[in-house]
Amino acid sequence: MNTPQGLKYASTDEWLKVEGNIATLGVTDYAQDQLSDIVFFEVTVEVGDEIKKGTIVATIESVKAAADVALPASGKVIEVNEALANSPELINSDPFGGAWMLKVELTDPSEVESLMDAAAYASYCETRGH
């Protein structure tokens, strides 16, 4: 399982890459592995939307399950990865790169502090089994 350093992780399997007050959101390698072959992706928010921590911002569907993607820190949507809807398989092949989902301008950067670092998230995933 790939768990890159320098990202923040939520117990609901989202990652945030924080640069200044801008956070990029995606789902983790663990999440895509659990979902298996992803066939559909849809962002349910738009640029300009103010999103509260924990709000569902996207839906992922695979051949065996559907999953919601929540934003683990409050922010204003500044960019959406429109290309991902046409290439949802990127979530399987490049969850930490091409499969980023949206970027937000954090409204409360302190919320990020409650998220796990890579080591804590990797340990958390191990406790859940496969």
Tens place of pLDDT for every residue, the chain, 130 residues?
899 999 999 999 999 999 999 999 999 999 999 999 999 999 999 999 999 999 999 999 999 899 999 999 999 999 999 999 999 999 999 999 999 999 999 999 999 999 999 999 999 999 986 5
Residues 6+ apart with CB under 8 A from 19: none
- Of the candidates 58, 71, 61, the one whose C-alpha atom is nearest the C-alpha of residue 104 is 71
**CB-based burial label for 64 (10 Å; 0-12, 13-18, 19+):** exposed
Q: What are the phi and psi torsion angles at 2 (to 5°)?
A: -90, 125
Token pair 């990797």 is found at: 122
Q: How many residues does the chain have?
A: 130
Q: Is the dihedral of CA 55, 84, 37, 13 positive or negative?
A: negative
Q: Where are the domains of the chain?
A: 22-106
Token pair 């640069």 is found at: 19
Please state the pTM of the whole predicted model: 0.95
CATH of the domain spanning 22-106:
2.40.50.100
Rounded to the nearest angstrom, the gap between the alpha carbon of residue 38 and the centroid of all alpha carbons in its chain is 14
